[in-house]
Amino acid sequence: MGCNDLWLVTELPEGAPDRTGQGLLSYGARLSKLLDSSWRALVFSPLGLETRQMFADYGVPEVTILKNAERYLDTPQILGAMLAGFVAEQNGGIIAFAHNDLGCTLAPLLAARLDAALVTEVNALSRNDQGIQLSRRVMGRRIDEARIWHQRGFLLITVPVNALSPVSLHTDAKTSLQINEYISPAEAELAESATKCSVIVERIPSDPQTVDLTDADVIFCAGKGCDNADFEQLRELCRLLGTSLGVTRPVYDLGWADFDRMVGRTGRCVKPRLYVTFGVSGSMHHVGGIQDAQHIVAINNDAKAPIFPNADQGFVADVKEILPRLLERVRTATGGK
Ligand SMILES: Cc1cc2nc3c(=O)[nH]c(=O)nc-3n(C[C@H](O)[C@H](O)[C@H](O)COP(=O)(O)OP(=O)(O)OC[C@H]3O[C@@H](n4cnc5c(N)ncnc54)[C@H](O)[C@@H]3O)c2cc1C
């Protein structure tokens, strides 16, 4: 690996990269073109056939599997030490992580062990006469900070998850994927040191009712078109389906929900997989906070409501008719639990 090389540390949560992992691969493909560098993925568990195909579809030329690393996913300190052992055997280059729990844990561990440069939440990267220029937002995102890395040794970067799009732009003919295994010579010694490390003993999924709305997967949003009875039905629907409840500003003003449940420019800017609105008009203040939602469904009894041009699917309907029927079906399907 020369200073030009790029490694993507890719997680395989269910045996394959999830949206974030796919986004990182897509990012790597683009970055390697921009920097004219070679690139590879580094993973912590073996690849099944479908996963191999997925890597090939993203145009990944090479994957290195850190053998037995999956045993240490709950002991990030050991995982970091193993990873650092592997990286230290290379000559230098860029190692990229998603800015998620694992990336935020491993990147600083590696930086300390390798005495390497670390830049977190990189939102742009380019090459110039002096080296690699990186930019990131600081001071509560009010200031863009530019840095230069002079391409000596290693540079560790983390990339914000919302900047990682899983869309693959790889168009070349099928890539032939090379797979290597790396066996850490220090594994036994590292495993012995486990008693000195903190170990993750439990992972509890977040409660959709209290999760930060910016992290919510599915949000049902109540607008002023809902009266109190509709709102209570929507709340029950959310509970039964395990979705998160959001509100518009007038609903927040009524005191039916806390400020952290308000969606929009003043409230939370959200990016769920699915966003369903019930009696929301679609004012610019509200719509400004849902631009990054992947799929928007709107229910409103006014066909001219501005939410409709902003939605992927729209239903001109009365929430008073829709909500009880929806709730009835969900109660039946879930047994009301
Ligand atoms: C500086 C500033 C910042 C703001 N920030 C935010 C913000 O962050 N978030 C936010 O949400 N708002 C914000 N607002 C307020 C915003 O401008 C709108 O007033 C608000 O978004 C409208 O909320 P709404 O859609 O629930 O209500 P309305 O605009 O009153 O719309 C209600 C909708 O429900 C429909 N409806 C009525 N009855 C039914 C029924 N039975 N079935 C189906 N549909 C029905 C109506 O057709 C209507 O379209 C801000 C305003 C300002 C001035």
User: Contact, 262 vs 223, CB < 8 A?
Assistant: no
Dihedral sign computed on CA atoms, order 223, 225, 229, 230: negative
In whole angstroms, what is the distance from residue 181 CA to residue 264 CA?
47
Q: List the 122-128 sheet strands across, edge first.
A: 122-128, 131-138, 143-149
Using the mean position of ligand 1's atoms as its centre, give its distance from the Cα of residue 207 in Å. 26
User: In the prediction, which pLDDT does 138 show?
Assistant: 87
Closest CA to 145 of 126, 124, 160: 124
For each of the domains in the chain, give its residue range(s) and CATH number, in order of start: 6-196 (3.40.50.620), 213-334 (3.40.50.1220)
- Cβ(164) to ligand 1 under 6 A? no
This prediction's pTM: 0.71
Using the mean position of ligand 1's atoms as its centre, give its distance from the Cα of residue 249 in Å. 7
The tokens describing 311, both together, are 């939605």
What is the atom index within ligand 1 of the atom nearest the CA of 267?
8
In whole angstroms, what is the distance from residue 122 CA to residue 97 CA?
10
In whole angstroms, what is the distance from residue 145 CA to residue 161 CA?
19
Phi, psi of 118 (to 5 degrees): -135, 125
pLDDT by residue for the chain (337 residues), tens digit each? 445 799 999 999 999 999 899 999 999 999 999 999 999 999 999 999 999 999 999 999 999 999 999 999 999 999 999 999 999 999 899 999 999 999 999 999 999 999 999 999 999 999 889 999 999 988 877 899 999 999 999 999 999 998 898 888 776 656 689 999 999 999 988 888 888 888 889 988 889 999 999 989 999 999 999 999 999 999 999 999 999 999 999 999 999 999 999 999 999 999 999 999 999 999 999 999 999 999 999 999 999 999 999 999 999 999 999 999 999 999 999 987 7
Using the mean position of ligand 1's atoms as its centre, give its distance from the Cα of residue 301 in Å. 13
- Cβ(264) to ligand 1 under 6 A? yes
- Cβ(100) to ligand 1 under 6 A? no
Closest CA to 98 of 178, 21, 44: 21
